[in-house]
Amino acid sequence: MITNPQEAWKQTLEKHIRSRGLRLTRQRLLITETFFRRGGHTTVDDLYQELLKTQPGIGYATVYRTLKLLVECGIAESLQFGEDSTRYEPASEHHDHLICTGCGTIIEFENETIENLQEEIAKMFGFTLTHHNMELYGRCSDPKCTKKS
């Protein structure tokens, strides 16, 4: 049976919540739904602002706590780019990021050769890798970004 991808997170979330004696609240559903609807690289504040539209009373802390929960479930991942605040994205196949410092565009990519080289490097130093970050910063081909500042 093929799971509806838009609902897949709901099953994982519910399973995780049940197994821990936690509760599936209105807010948790709403936040998670909104998070997945928005898609990648969301700031907590982005998400909070959008949530305010449908749920005026919602608290900043609840958004933080729910995102932390999603990360624990393994259905979201936190990202730390050069800037100040943490971003979150739906968990998926591993990938890295290519970021335009002009317009903020974020492109996801994967490269198996690099991954293999990383493993090789780790082995060379006697490390066992658990995870990694790689962000490439540059200017995209948009004229506004290409021109010198």
Alpha-carbon span 98 to 134, nearest angstrom: 9
CB of 89 to a copy of itself, least distance (A): 16
CB of 81 to DNA, least distance (A): 11
Q: Is 85 in the site for a copy of itself (CB under 8 A)?
A: no
CB of 35 to DNA, least distance (A): 13
User: Between 8 and 129, whose beta carbon lies closer to a copy of itself?
Assistant: 129
- Quote the Cα angle for 25-68-51, to 5°: 55
| Max CA distance (Å), the chain | 56
User: Between 28 and 97, whose beta carbon lies closer to a copy of itself?
Assistant: 97
CB of 49 to a copy of itself, least distance (A): 25
Q: Which of 8, 22, 52, 121 binds a copy of itself (CB under 8 A)?
A: 121
Q: Is 111 in the site for a copy of itself (CB under 8 A)?
A: yes
Q: Are 136 and 142 in contact (CB under 8 A)?
A: no
Q: How many CB atoms lie within 10 A of CB 12?
A: 16
Q: Are 65 and 28 in contact (CB under 8 A)?
A: no
Token pair belonging to 14: 């519910």
> Which of a copy of itself, DNA, none has residue 49 at its interface (CB below 5 to 8 Å by kind)?
none
